[in-house]
């Protein structure tokens, strides 16, 4: 029996288009260009969809309110915070049970380095700047929520917190090495 021939109009590119066409009604997404994990050549990029609903930093970047250096500086801060955090941990069932006394795991070198970088960031940002960065990048608060926590609820304060947060992101980009002093001075004008 002869094999059926494919239609010439058949496009192979449509097979590999895995982007979602339908998103939930409350989804907030943005297209972002990322490195292709299946690429044969280094540097190939693909478009991916990223959720920005609970990600203030991602939302600012997707709406072009911050640049790439500020975004990467904020992500580096978040990474260091996650490395240094020693909160509640899951029970390790592979370890031997000994009368319910949990021994503390030793601090790893990566945790120690993350804490040192976070201490430097706090010195660079100051107390108020460090609190603002923590509220936005760790707790995920909006400028309006930050104003409510500080008992100031006007638009003028929200604008101030937004400008101050971008200044802090400039400083984070400097501390983590994603920008130079000249680039940050140019943005302040």
Distances (CA, A) of 21 to 16, 24, 26, 125, 151: 14, 10, 15, 42, 42
pLDDT in tens, 69-119: 999 999 999 999 999 987 556 666 776 666 655 566 778 888 899 999 999
pLDDT in tens, 32-62: 888 888 888 888 888 888 888 888 999 899 8
- Residue 48's pLDDT is 82
DSSP conformation letters of 34-45: EE-TT-SSTT-E
- Residue 100's pLDDT is 59
pLDDT tops 90 at residue 127:
yes
- Residue 79's pLDDT is 94
State CA 2 to chain mean position distance. 55
Count CB-CB contacts under 10 A for residue 96: 5
Burial zone of 48 (CB within 10 Å; 0-12 exposed, 13-18 middle, 19+ buried): middle
pLDDT tops 90 at residue 15:
no
Give the pair of three-digit tokens for residue 107.
């601090």
Identify the H or E element spanning 79.
helix 68-84
pLDDT in tens, 138-187: 999 989 999 999 999 899 999 999 999 999 999 999 999 998 876 665 55
pLDDT tops 90 at residue 11:
no
- Residue 54's pLDDT is 87
- Residue 114's pLDDT is 93
- Residue 38's pLDDT is 84
Going by C-beta distance under 8 Å and a sequence separation of 6 or more, which residues neighbour residue 26? 53
Question: Can you name the residues that pair with 47 across neighbouring β-strands?
Answer: 33
Count CB-CB contacts under 10 A for residue 136: 23
pLDDT in tens, 129-138: 999 999 999 9
Give the pair of three-digit tokens for residue 7.
């239609």
Could you list the beta-strand ranges (E) of the chain.
29-35, 45-51
Residue 59 · residue 28 · CB < 8 Å: yes
Instruction: Compute, in degrees rounded to 10, the torsion defined by CA atoms 149, 155, 161, 164.
Output: -160
């Amino acid at each position: 029996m002869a094999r059926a021939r494919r239609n010439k109009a058949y496009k192979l590119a449509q097979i590999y288009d895995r982007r979602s066409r339908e998103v939930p009604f409350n989804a907030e997404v943005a297209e972002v260009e990322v490195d292709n994990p299946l690429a044969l050549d280094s540097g190939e990029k693909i478009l991916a969809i990223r959720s920005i609903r609970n990600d203030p930093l991602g939302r600012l970047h997707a709406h072009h309110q911050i640049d790439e250096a500020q975004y990467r500086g904020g992500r580096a801060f978040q990474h260091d915070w996650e490395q240094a955090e020693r909160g509640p941990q899951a029970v390790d069932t592979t370890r031997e049970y000994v009368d319910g006394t949990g021994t503390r795991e030793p601090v790893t070198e990566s945790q120690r380095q993350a804490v040192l970088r976070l201490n430097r960031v706090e010195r660079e940002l100051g107390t108020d700047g460090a609190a603002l960065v923590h509220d936005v990048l760790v707790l995920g608060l909006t400028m309006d929520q930050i104003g409510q926590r500080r008992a100031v609820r006007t638009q003028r304060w929200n604008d101030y917190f937004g400008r101050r947060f971008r200044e802090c992101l400039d400083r984070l980009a400097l501390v983590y090495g994603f920008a130079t002093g000249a680039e940050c001075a140019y943005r302040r004008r």
